[in-house]
Amino acid sequence: MFIQNTIKFLNNYMDNFKGQVAMVTGAASGLGLSIARKLLNSGSQLALLDLNKNSLLNAFDNFPEQVLCVGIDITNQQLVENSVAEILARFGKIDILVNCAGITGETNLKSHQVSTENLQKVFELNFMGSFYTSKAVIPNMISNNYGRILHIASIAGKEGNAGMLAYSASKAAVIGMTKVQGKEYAENGITVNALAPAVIQTPLVDAMPETQVKYMTDKIPMKRCGTLEEAANLAAYIVSPLNSFTTGFTFDLSGGRATY
């Protein structure tokens, strides 16, 4: 009976995404790719955005009816607006937005060593990109009285990681935006939440200096990186209809690092 009930629960959970349209940025690799695959396997139609359109096509070319791949620099507001119009023309609505696109920028540097240009570049993608996409999709969600928005933040945005000023500050801004948007659209059937991972084993982390990664993993009581599957599972719940009374909240995925 337990096994039968578990299977029934999982089937019902998967059915929650049937007929829904999800837009995922940074979907060509890392967390964005894992979340996109999770939603695809759960029955969603997908609009996937990434600067690397070829990688998107290589990963999802077997699903031409279910997936729209868009090559785009989301730091360009006009291109974002054009892409959202294209998605709405194709699918008719956008139920879910997951903002995964992001960069760490220069790391292992103290604040006085950080270049202004690099800091601005990180903010443009990590914060402004998430602002542009949410600004563009929210009117459609309001008209449908339903929406789920998930901004990928970071534990660095809550606690600050030494040597990562641009990344930490940009993710703190993402968390601040989440709190504001969660309050603003709470009566419109739209939830807006953030996910704050500690260290997830992604290509982004693999490209960081070993000393920077060690600094971060040493702070995790589990003494390991999180997995993409663990992150995608939590993200899928956050953007599901099951998560209907939590908004403006930052979900931790930190292996015990965050306890507040």
Report the CATH number that the domain containing residue 212 is assigned in CATH.
Answer: 3.40.50.720
Instruction: Let me know if residue 154 belongs to a domain.
Output: yes
Alpha carbons 36 and 47: distance in angstroms, whole number: 9
13 is catalytic: no
CA distance 167 to 178: 17
List all residues 6 or more positions away from 102 whose beta carbon is below 8 Å from its beta carbon: 26, 125, 126, 129, 152, 170, 204
Residue 85 falls within a domain, yes or no?
Answer: yes
Strands 67-71 and 190-197: unpaired
What pLDDT is stored for residue 79 in this prediction?
98
Question: Which residues in the chain belong to E strands, given as ranges?
Answer: 21-25, 45-50, 67-71, 96-99, 147-152, 190-197, 250-253
Residue 5 lies in a domain: no
**Residue numbers of the domain that contains 104:** 19-252
pTM exceeding 0.85: yes
Q: Which amino acid is at 25?
A: T
Catalytic residue among 13, 132, 146, 167: 167
Domain annotation covers residue 131: yes
Alpha helices in 16-128 (DSSP H): 30-41, 53-60, 77-91, 116-123
Helix axes 77-91, 129-144, angle to 10 degrees: 30
- CA 146-12-90 angle, to 5 degrees, is 45
- CA distances in angstroms from 214 to 171, 219, 222, listed in the order given: 20, 9, 13
Backbone phi and psi for residue 71, each to the nearest 5 degrees, phi listed first: -85, 120
Q: What integer pLDDT is reported at residue 259 of this predicted model?
A: 65
The total number of structural domains in the chain stands at 1
14 domain residue, yes or no: no
Distance from CA of residue 25 to its chain's centroid?
7
The label of the residue with tokens 């459609």 reads 140
In this predicted structure, what is the pLDDT of residue 219?
Answer: 81
Helix and strand numbers, DSSP H then E, in the chain: 11, 7
C-alpha distances (whole Å) from 242 to each of 12, 13, 24 are 10, 8, 19
pLDDT at 38: 97
CA–CA–CA angle 98, 81, 228 (5° rounding): 20
Tokens standing for residue 93: 């609505």
Q: Is residue 11 part of a domain?
A: no
Q: pLDDT per position in the chain (260 positions), as tens? A: 545 544 444 555 556 799 999 999 999 999 999 999 999 999 999 999 999 999 999 999 899 999 999 999 999 999 999 999 999 999 999 999 999 999 999 988 999 999 999 999 999 999 999 999 999 999 999 999 999 999 999 999 998 989 999 999 999 999 999 999 999 999 999 999 999 998 888 776 788 788 877 877 888 888 778 889 999 999 999 999 999 999 999 999 978 777 66
124 domain residue, yes or no = yes
